[in-house]
Structures are given as C-alpha cells and as structure tokens.
Chain A
Amino acid sequence: MPTETKSHPWMALSAPGAIDEMLAKIGVSKVADLFEQIPQDHYRKTPLDMPPTLSSEMELRRDLVTRLKRNEDCEANLSFLGAGVWQHHVPAIVDEIVGRTEFATNVWGSYQSDHGRNQAWFEFSSQLGALLNLDVVQLPVYSWGCAIGHAMRMAARMTGRNKVLVSQLSDPERLSVIHTYCQPTQMAGSIDVITIATDPTTGRLDLGDLKSKLGDDVAAVYFENPAYLGTIETEAAEIARMTRAAGAETIVGVDPASLGVMTAPGDYGADIVTGPVQPLGVHMQCGGGAGGFIASRDEERYVRTYNGFLVSIADTAKDGEFGFGLACPHQNSYGMREDGNDWTGNSTYLWAIAGAVYMSLLGPEGFAELGRLIVSRARYAARLLNDIPNVSVTWPDGHFKEFVVNFDATGRTVADINDALRAHGIFGGKDISGEGLKLGQSALYCVTEVHTAADIRRLTDTLKEVLA
C-alpha cells in the first residue's frame, strides 16, 4: 500500500511517492519497519496535543504578526531602559549582513568552505581588540554575565585561588549568573564572591575596603567601567595596580559603545576584559541580543585557559594567501569533555558578525562621535531631571550613559511613577528600589545616541506633569 503523505513546503520527501521509492531501495515495505529498534512499550500513549497547523505561509505570517503586535515597543514609545540591554542605533547594513542566508543557516564546514565567515569572526576580534587595546579576543559567549563567570573561573584556574571581589553595587541580573558560575561552597572548585564597599558620595569602589580584602586567597577583582549604575571608575589604574600587587587578576567589564571616548582597558592594567556585544549593532530583541566577549593580552597562560573559540589567522598551502582556523582547539570541552576548560557549544556567534560590520562602519571617528553624543545627551538628561522639584540624580556627574534618579522626596514609588509615564508612551528607567542597594526609591535611566534633546524634554515635561 502506498505511503500517504500530505505535501509540505518544508519537506521535499513529503511529495507523493518519494518515501515509497526510498523504501523500495531499502527493502522494507512500510515506514514502521524502520523503527524496529524501539520496543513497543516505549511508544507514547498520549496523542500530541497541538494547536491547529498553519502550513500556509500566509496564515502563519498573520498569526505571528498579529500576536507580536500586542507588544508595545521602544520605537513607538520613548524608552529609558538599559541595564544589560540598551537601545542603540543599528545600521541597516548590519541587518542585511546578519540576515544573509549563508551566515544565518551556516553550521560548520571546513576552514576553507567557511572562509568568509571565519574572516568575519577574525575581524570582530581584531576590531574589538583595537578598541580594547588587547591582542586576544575570544568569540562571544552567551552573555556578559556568562563572560564574567568564565573570566572568574579562568582567574581561579590561573592563580589556584578561590575568592573573587566585586562591587556591592552590582547588577543583580549579572550577579545571579556570576553566583551560578562560581557555585555553592559545597561543590568542588567553588569560588567565593565577596563584595567591596563603594563610596556613597561617588558610587565608585572604596579603595580602602578593597585593600583590606585583597588577601593572598583572592583570584581576581572584578569591576565595571562604566559601572552598573553608570558611574565611571576614575581610579581604574590604581585598582589594577593594587590587584596585581596582591597576585590577583584584574577583570574589567566595559561598554564597547564608550570606547571611542573612554580609555582602553588594556591601557590601565586590565588582565581580562569582558563586556556585552549587544551595543555593537545588535537589536535588543527582548534580551535575545545578549552576548558577552572575553579578551586578554596574548600571553600563553591566558590563552590556554580560555573556554571557547579563538579564531587565528594563518597561512595556507598557497604562497602569500591567508586563511583562518581555531587556535588551541583541544583545550575546550569539544576536545577534552569534562577535562576541558569549563564548557562551550553553540553560542552567539552571529553577533560577532554583526559586531564586525558595526565596528567597520563606525571606524575611529564614528566611535568618538558616538561616545561624545551619548555622554552629552545622558548628562543633559541628568541635569534636566535633577532640576525637577523633589527629583534628584544621585551622582550627577561622572557617568556615561546610565545614571540613578531618586524619587524619595516625591513620596511616590518608582513603580507608580513608571505606570504614569507609560500612560504617556514613556518607559521610565529600570526600577532598582528592590535591589538592596540602599538607594531608596530610585530608577536607573539610560540615555543613548537615539535620544534627542526633544525626547529628553518630553521626558522631563511629562515627569513634571505626572508628579504635579
């Protein structure tokens, strides 16, 4: 009896007769014969319970678009949300290139058949290395928090020590990932995460407290520049010096969008640098744009402790030609299973290509203009917000694109104020009141190059109205 199938646009062998032609070659009479390995009592007893099939593209598109349109987005609204995912301009060319089917559907071929993709990956590392002033950049891991977690584990492997120091004003989202990676103390290889106090007048690390905690059991000091709450760590070189003197590694987290105007971490003593890739031409995508990089100097002791993919340029069998491949491929989990460095797998490598295109479009002048524009608009927003009665900016100077706005004197909660703003089409800053930072009813506002002076005045005018 012929096998009955319904033709489907995504399955060539669903066309009538195709399966039977193959069964004839195999030498069996029906499909079920091929599943002889599975014992009968393993088959599921409950039938699948699925919503109706939408095999027509037209119907499927309508379903997707109708449902997605129930979202409110940051283009139709005016958003000041940041804290790990930020609204930046994405050049159209980036969307074109990451949408190329050769890149989007690609899996893994040979170094030669993947040549173009590997070159794009190498160019991501090369350009980011130029922004960081560092020689080694690994392809991105899942997120910034994951990059920090791996960097801390690298430091622990390198130093044989089991304690890391972080700011008490850390992002709870990233900190949760860091705690996961450093794991509970009962487990083998666990790393203690200890907090460093901050100066209440500036939000920066308290160097006296840092000094007191820098014992010979400390594997690494981790700080961000700009930090979670937007503040700039002006004593970064001194922190790195103190850390090195204690025999520990300095791990820094940076915002790549700041590096046209802020000192490269490679120039102030950072040993391992992490950061998000999303600002480099990746849409927010409800957090789906996350990705995190790890970079360091080109010293073998660092290179040999990386967990993932390091793309190196190399010569080829043809004189004067170059190609690309993976350096130290055997030290990761593909090569050594449980004995490799942490683990790796599919990650966020398409965003490396987005980042390569983005950085090549901006160039040195673009990054300088971008940095100046962001810090100018953010500072302007802070100034205007600070001028609103009962509203104050906690550290009004010395921040990059994010800053803390305190609403204690209004007698209202951030949640309440943000509800009111939302009714006016404005997404207020992230509510950080419940994060245990002892900053009262505060919100973390993010202002980038996409926010014009008029947008900022719209925010402050609306806020005045809402608070009146």
Chain B
Amino acid sequence: MSRLPEFHAAKWDEPVVMELGRPGGRGQIFPAPELEIKETIGADLIPASMARKDRPVLPEITEFEAQRHYLHLSQMTLGMMGVSLFGTCTMKYNSKTSEYATLRPELAEVHPYQHPDTLQGVMGIMHDFDHILRSLSGMDQFIFQAGGGADAAYTMAIVARAFWADRGMLDQRTEMITSIQAHPCNPATAAAAGFKVVNLPLEDNGYPSLDALKAAVSDKTALIMINNPDDMGIYNPEIKEWVRVAKEAGALCFYDHANFNGVMGKLSARELGFDACMFMLHKTFGAPKAGGGPAVGAFGCSDDLAPYLPCPVITKSGDKYVLDDDRPKSAGKVREFWGNVPQVVKAYAWARGMGAEGIELASDISVVANNYMDKRLSEIPGLEISNPDITMNRMEMTRWSFAPLCEETGIGTADVANRMADYGIDPFWMSHEPWIVAEPFTPEAGELWSKEDIDLWIDVIAKIADEARNDPEMVKAAPHNQPVAQVNGDVFEDPEKWAMTWRAYQRKIGA
C-alpha cells in the first residue's frame, strides 16, 4: 500500500471576474489613431443606427489583477497534476518542446490564405505526418480539418453522403449501422448528417453478434461505423468478417480508432478491410486535450473515397507542397480552413519523438499497465469487472463497476469520483451513455505513468472502498479538500435557477 498523500487543493475563494477591480481600472490600453488619420477621416465612423450607446458591463482591472485571477483559477484546476488514468482519453505527456515551437510567429502568426509558397514549412510537416498516419493505417490520404473525434465521425458521414450521391443512390442508402457500445458521436453525427441509425446490441461475449449484423445490413446500408477494441477492453475477433459482410452488401466501413493505443503498430485498418478511419491527435498522438480542444480528428480513407474529402488536401508536386482545392466531388467543408494546425504539428512531433519502435513499445506498455491494473483492482472487494465471464486479458482499458460496493454501502461511482480528488487523484471517466454496466468506471493507464503512479491510483480506490464501509456519510459528502464543496446539481435543470452568464445570475438570484 502506498503512503497516501495529505493533499489539499488550492482554495482562493476567487470572486467571479465581474466583481473585481474598480471603475477606471485598465488591463490593456490602445493608442489613439495617429494625427494624420484623424485629419483625413474625422470621427463618427460607425453609422448612427449601429453605434453602441451603452457601456458593456465588463470588469475594469489591471494587467496584474487579470494575471493573478486566472493563475488562481488555473491553480484551482487539478488538470492531470495528480494521476489521471482517464479512460477513453489516453492521457499522455504533452511535450513542451512542441508547445513552444507552435507558439513561434512562424506558426502562431501565419494566415491560411497566405500564398502556399510562404507556408511550405507547415505544409511539409502536415504532408509528412499524413504519410506517418498512412503507414499506421494503410489508408491513402489523411486530412485534418475535423475539430475533434466527433467531427471526424461527421466527416465520415458527409463523405459517405457524397459517395452515395455521386452514384445516384442517396435515396436508397439511408442507414448507418453501429454498436450500442460505440462512442455516442458515431450515431449522433450520422443522424445529424441525415442517416437513420441502427444500433446493434451486445451479446454475452461483449460485442454484437455477426448474425445481428447480417440481419441488419441490406441494400439500404450506407455505412457501418465501429470501434475495436471497445471501452470494455474487449476486441471483436470477428471484425474482418464484419467488414466482409458489410462490404458484400455494398456498405462503406469506418473504423473509429479512438481506442488505438493498444493496437498501434499491430493492426492496419486497411488490411482489415476498412475504407476509412480516424485518429484523435489530442489523445493517441500526444497533443494536449486543453479541457476539450482545440482538438483534431485526423480522417483517413482509401483512394476510392478520397475524391469526396473536404478541401483543402495537402499534396506534393515535385519539390513543392500544394493546397489542392480543386476537387469537384468534394463533400464540402466540415469547418473553415485546414484544421487545428498547431495540434497537427504537435502530433507530428510526438510521432517523431516516439518513432516506430517507441510507438510499438507504447502499445505494449499500455496493455501491460491495464492488465496489471485489472489484476490489482480484482483484489479489492466491492469491485467487479465488466463481462466477468470473459477471462482473456483485456486491451488498453477495462470497464469496471462499483455495483457490489454500492449495494453493500450505498456508495456509487459518482461518490468515489468526488472523493478521489481529495487525494490529489484526477476523478476517473465513468462511461458513455447508455450505462450498460451499473456504477461504471473506466481506467486507462496508457504509457505515461509509472508503476508507483498506478499503484497510488489503485490504493486510493481501495482506501475509498474502505471508507465507504466505515464512514459512508463522509464519502457521500465528498469532496472535503477541494476548492469548493459539492456543487448543487439541481440548479442545472431548473430554468428559474440556471444562469449561464453573470447577467442572468444577477437577474435571477440578485446581486
């Protein structure tokens, strides 16, 4: 058992910024227009009907007061400063070298409409990284326009739309098939793109049956969207047959590679038969998550689908990198410009820093670390692994359950998550909807953390399980060492009380 840290979070009692400062306080000053400008053009440049008359109700604080306020807020954010084994998100070290490189004016202060001759450096990086992803997946072309994994799923949906429209079959190919265990973004983006969603249920072996798939596919199927392994850590060994069956019915096959970490360098989406796949650069490829983006869903596909990709596509002609915007069959854009370019550069840096050998080792380590966790977690009373009948070693993450502990003590997964932070440990990921496993949690160690980190994390879980038995009220009331006490969730569904801005709060609750 590790010695558990006597942690206490910073608690600054920091007011909302709107309450800081005093009238006349200034954090930024802009110069007046030059004399020659004033003399040439005069004043009153905004037409009267559009000239602002009120003074926006913003804080009036000094530069230092702003700096100190937001530093305090950063200190009241645990943000992976403890141990974060946050499943489905593949927590990695985010190299400061690449962070600093992307802050240089050669990237921070460049405009996407500059002439391509002036952007050869970054285009070269993106081109080379495209080829690294091609090698990892077997696909023929990647683009980076999608602003996250969900946006890459949406990219797949609109590429499929354009593919079927080009064949005059959009009226017929109206269905997307996925698993009930797939990430919600797959059904949600397909539905937003206009497809009807068919969800396949899971069987006892942890994945949908081949028979269910066969019953679902037809000449209406536009595409299937599937991840493998899933968030339970279970690998569908029939996936090649799945792809064969779907393609036999004419459908496109999309591999959601959100859970790529355990199979990096081992599997190739294309060799398994898939037409397209996506990688999350802010997860698997070492770019920071930043609390939810800027992120990148790198979307890759076969030559058959490439004509339908959103523009621009970066290509190479002779010694020059080219922005290819002339793709008449393109599905259109999912977002303006080329994507979150600095994140692509950071992912390239990660891939170069790891190299082929490092990537293969990271995949091994992530699966070793997860199975070590499974072993130790299985020794803690009150915890239960998902699909307990499946005894094979899991992949890089495993879904676990506090159901037995909850039955015994009334302490469930949300209570444990709240309590973990009291030990300086980042709360875990529970589960995406629907909760197939009761009181779920989903740890994933990845390749970053040391054995000591992982042991500490598990010891904290064991300690909280003990606390649940000895002092359940204390756990229910957790956290106790955080910047604030438990937030009252009732507010969030109550139109009379919710307040998304300070003005709304003042109107509803009063100053």
Contact = CB atoms under 8 A, between A and B. Distances in A.
A13 B450 contact: yes
B245 interface: no
B421 A110 contact: yes
Contacts of B89: 107-108
Given A102-B79, A334-B184, A380-B40, A129 B502 contact: yes
B375 interface: yes
A373 B46 CA distance: 12
A317 B482 CA distance: 12
A460 interface: no
A315 interface: yes
Interface string B185-229: 101111111111101000000000000000000000000000001
Contacts of A184: 161, 165, 170, 194
B477 interface: yes
B139 to A, nearest CB: 13
Taking residues whose C-beta sits less than 8 angstroms from the other chain, chain A's interface range is 35 or more
Given A101-B81, A237-B49, 11 more contacts: A14-B361, A38-B266, A53-B357, A72-B118, A113-B479, A126-B502, A183-B193, A328-B498, A346-B289, A361-B28, A383-B41
B93 to A, nearest CB: 5
A49 B161 contact: no
B30 to A, nearest CB: 4
Given A135-B503, A285-B110, A37 B74 contact: no
B193 A234 contact: no
Contact of A126 (B47, B170, B503): B503
A418 interface: yes
Contacts of A286: 107, 110-112, 119, 122, 337-338, 341-342
Nearest to A321: B484
A361 B364 contact: no
A104 B99 contact: yes
Contacts of A116: 14, 72-77, 483
Contacts of B27: 91, 93, 360-363, 366
A42 interface: yes
Contacts of A317: 477, 485-486, 488
B474 interface: no
A333 B185 CA distance: 7
A300 to B, nearest CB: 5
Contacts of A321: 484-485
B192 to A, nearest CB: 5
A146 B335 contact: yes
B99 A99 contact: yes
A120 B16 CA distance: 9
Nearest to B391: A36
Given A25-B376, A107-B80, A38 B263 contact: yes
B359 A102 contact: no
A183 to B, nearest CB: 5
B434 to A, nearest CB: 8
A152 interface: no
A430 interface: yes
A243 to B, nearest CB: 17
A314 B488 contact: yes
Interface in B329-370: 331-343, 345, 349, 351-362, 364-365, 367-369
B18 interface: yes
A377 interface: yes
A81 B114 contact: yes
A115 B448 contact: no
Given A81-B114, A97-B74, A328-B492, A285 B147 contact: no
B382 interface: no
Contacts of B55: 364, 368
B136 interface: yes
B432 interface: yes
B101 A74 contact: no
B504 A129 contact: yes
B214 to A, nearest CB: 19
Interface in A134-157: 134-139, 142-146, 153
Please list the 8 inter-chain residue pairs (A to B) with the smallest Cβ-Cβ separation, ordered nearest first: A53-B355, A187-B194, A287-B337, A345-B150, A116-B76, A70-B121, A333-B188, A142-B147
B389 interface: no
A143 B110 CA distance: 18
Interface in B2-45: 9, 14, 16-18, 20-21, 25-34, 36-38, 40-41, 45
Nearest to A65: B101
22 contacts: A8-B361, A11-B448, A12-B450, A37-B229, A43-B266, A46-B271, A64-B345, A93-B67, A107-B80, A117-B291, A186-B194, A312-B499, A321-B485, A323-B485, A326-B492, A337-B433, A346-B280, A346-B282, A361-B66, A364-B56, A373-B32, A383-B40
A245 interface: no
B136 to A, nearest CB: 7
A68 B37 contact: no
Interface stretch (B232-240, B300-308, B460-468): B232-240
B46 A232 contact: yes
A350 B293 contact: yes
Contacts of A364: 55-58, 60
Contacts of A113: 9, 77-78, 421, 426-427, 479, 482
Given A105-B289, A300-B495, A314-B492, A64 B97 contact: yes
Nearest to A153: B192
A133 B372 CA distance: 54
A261 interface: yes
Contact of A337 (B40, B187, B267, B338): B187
A49 B14 CA distance: 51
B309 to A, nearest CB: 13
Given A119-B14, A135-B501, A184-B161, A28 B51 contact: no
B337 A173 contact: yes
Contacts of B154: 343
A264 interface: yes
